[in-house]
Amino acid sequence: MPLADWLPSPAELLLFAVFIFILIVLIFMLHFHYIQKQVRKESRCLREAEQYSKGAEYNITASDKRNNDLYKLSYNFDNKQTTVNCACKDGKVLNHFKNIPYYDLRLNTTKKLDDFACYCDKAYDVPDLSIYHKGHPGLIRYYQNNNDVSFFQGDLESY
């Protein structure tokens, strides 16, 4: 058999090149899709931008030093309403959380909830309880310094 029988024709060579090109494009698309999936999963900025679109409800959860959730505040900007809910595990032990600061969206002022009662699985309302907050960075900034109300008065325009 001569060597010329083994060489591809120009049509076969072109078909092979097109196949390789399509295969490379497909690999790049799968790689790009995998990267985008990882970014959506791990990116805090992108996740918050999607979660906190304008008009959404913003939440912040108060926790103790052992990361046990105590109570949760929700700010609904469409209804101008602030709600406080229990975030601890349901139980039979009555807990009183005192002096919870919150921002009144109707009056645009900072107020304090004197006493909020929750039935939890155990006692979390010890006298020198350290409270940590989880939620939107603007709300965390407000709860670290109740005089910083920039989140409620202008930061939301960027979301």
Greatest CA separation for the chain: 97
- Most confident of the following: 39-43, 48-52, 53-57, 130-134: 130-134
Sign of CA dihedral 74, 77, 79, 82: positive
List, in order, residues 6 or more apart from 70 with CB less than 8 Å away: 61, 62, 63, 64, 87, 88, 95, 97, 118, 124, 131
pLDDT digit string, tens, across residues 66-107: 889 999 999 988 888 999 999 999 999 999 998 899 999 888
Exposed e or buried b per residue across 23-38, where buried means at least 16 C-beta atoms within 10 angstroms of its C-beta: eeeeeeeeeeeeeeee
Q: What is the predicted pLDDT for the residue at 118?
A: 92
Q: Residues of the chain with pLDDT > 70: what percent? A: 91
The token duo for 137 is 């960075």
- Is pTM, for the whole model, over 0.85? no
Closest to 146 (Cα-Cα) out of 126, 131, 128, 127? 131
Burial class, 139, CB count within 10 angstroms (exposed 0-12 / middle 13-18 / buried 19+): buried
- Which phi and psi angles does 123 have, rounded to 5°? -80, 120
Is 5 a residue whose pLDDT tops 80?
Answer: no
